[in-house]
A = this chain, B = another copy of it.
Amino acid sequence: MYMQQLIDKLGREKISQDKKVLIQHSKDESIHTAALPDVVCFPESAEDVAEILKIASESLVPVTPFGAGSGLEGQAIPVHKGIVMNFERMNKVIDFSPEDMRVTVQAGVTRLQLNEQVNASGLMFSVDPGADAMIGGMVATNASGTTAVRYGAMRDQLLNLEVVLADGRIIKTGTLAKKSSSGYNLTGLFTGSEGTLGIITEITLKLHGIPEYNMMARCTFDSLECCTRAAQNMLQAGIPVLRMELIDAVSISMINRHSGENFPVKHSLFFEFAGSERAVKEEVELASELMHNHGCENWIAANDTVKMKQIWKARKDLNYAIACQEGIKEIGGDVCVPISLIPELVSFARTRMDASGLNGAIWGHVGDGNFHTSIMYNSSVEGEFETAEQTNDAIVLKAIEAGGTCTGEHGVGLGKMKFQKAEHGAALEIMKQTKRMYDPKGILNPGKIFMDE
């Protein structure tokens, strides 16, 4: 019934029930169980999205938005089947204003595609989650990454969203002005709502100037306390690092094993500095002084491309060390805590991982207090998954107890639903009420964020 309506309204060329297409839209990059949708739609405009939602509302069919499929918590998995919306055809830059350092894009534009278009004007889109995610998906999860320490997360880049509501109404949430005190802040509310309150179709973003000069640096510490305190000191001194990443000693040894490298097996900080040549050189000098005051060893800094790559190599290799193990899966965490608690939390995580008997990696965007844990398990060995899950749960609950959050950047999706009550307490009921207000029929990405809605 609704399938025929979709065909009538959108035309066959915007709809697929091809088995391969359905499989492609059944999963993301997480370990969460795949689920086949009944149909995949390829809207080309907000009006198409509105038509789909009107039909879905009428027939009570679930609608799950799908971006690049690079999510890490199952947000794009259609757990209750129904319609998946793929945004790859909504990939146009609608308006680019270099003088106002602003761009408006459709939800399906990817971050690399966007940068390609704006870089020539000396501008850049700053958020870098690693994957070439779609901007719509990045808004929906409030993505961030290594550069958030300097430029903030997705939420900090947004001026306006075009959103299609469950009943097909199209609204805009903001303006083109850089700030506003008018009305309720719907832009912020939709950001991180993971397709559960409305479907984001267009995004107006702030851009930043491309720094003219870059340098990278690396150093090591014997203790996590010194390492973290050193990182905090960088922020207190107002040094505007572009990236500041931590890898703990055990994870460095994992990298050495994987890559055949010989990086010093210590807690390590990786830096990138960016700005005018004079400013960057001054910052690197000051940073070196600060780090040495905190007892760092193995300080290296460089500005030529080859050496910069070498410096950052351990950080880069970490991803491969985790991903490239035959038969091994990983439960990934991304808790975020006050920076002063990083030593305590990272030590806790390391102790728990070691006690579990499983391999685990720890690295983080230390300037934000956001650190990643990856617990590796063999799904064909009985009990390993459960052990990994229990270990991850303990780390997350410890972070929440310390005043932190269960997710700094990946979002809730399926994996963090169980922590929502512990983190949000009485506010969770308000969030559920909000969900019911925006989506009274429960068609928008059902089965995500809330355990029991």
Is there an interface contact between A172 and B427, defined as CB atoms closer than 8 Å? yes
Tell me if A209 is interfacial: C-beta within 8 Å of chain B. Answer: yes
CB distance from A356 to the nearest CB of B (A): 24
Of the residues B100, B156, B275, B427, contact of A173 by C-beta under 8 Å: B427
Of the residues B141, B183, B193, contact of A420 by C-beta under 8 Å: B183
Tell me if A323 is interfacial: C-beta within 8 Å of chain B. Answer: no
Chain A contact patch, size range:
35 or more
- Chain B residues near A278: list those with CB within 8 A: 282
Alpha-carbon separation in the docked complex, A208 to B155 (Å): 20
Encode A221-265 as 1/0 by CB contact (under 8 A) with B: 000000001001001111000000000000000000000000000
Is there an interface contact between B279 and A182, defined as CB atoms closer than 8 Å? no
Given contacts A182-B424, A437-B434, contact A405 B175 (CB under 8 A): yes
Of the residues B191, B425, B433, contact of A185 by C-beta under 8 Å: B191
Is there an interface contact between A97 and B340, defined as CB atoms closer than 8 Å? yes
Is there an interface contact between A236 and B184, defined as CB atoms closer than 8 Å? no
Q: Which residue of B lies closest to A235 (CB)?
A: B101
Encode A183-217 as 1/0 by CB contact (under 8 A) with B: 11111110111000100000000001101000000
Given contacts A408-B179, A408-B181, contact A338 B100 (CB under 8 A): yes
Encode A312-332 as 1/0 by CB contact (under 8 A) with B: 000000000000000000000
- Chain B residues near A171: list those with CB within 8 A: 425-427, 430
Is there an interface contact between B424 and A183, defined as CB atoms closer than 8 Å? yes
Of the residues B169, B176, B336, contact of A178 by C-beta under 8 Å: B336
Is there an interface contact between B189 and A184, defined as CB atoms closer than 8 Å? yes
Encode A335-369 as 1/0 by CB contact (under 8 A) with B: 01111100000000000000000000000000011
Is there an interface contact between B236 and A122, defined as CB atoms closer than 8 Å? yes
Tell me if A62 is interfacial: C-beta within 8 Å of chain B. Answer: no
Is there an interface contact between A182 and B148, defined as CB atoms closer than 8 Å? no
Of the residues B183, B340, B409, B426, contact of A100 by C-beta under 8 Å: B340
Is there an interface contact between B180 and A184, defined as CB atoms closer than 8 Å? no
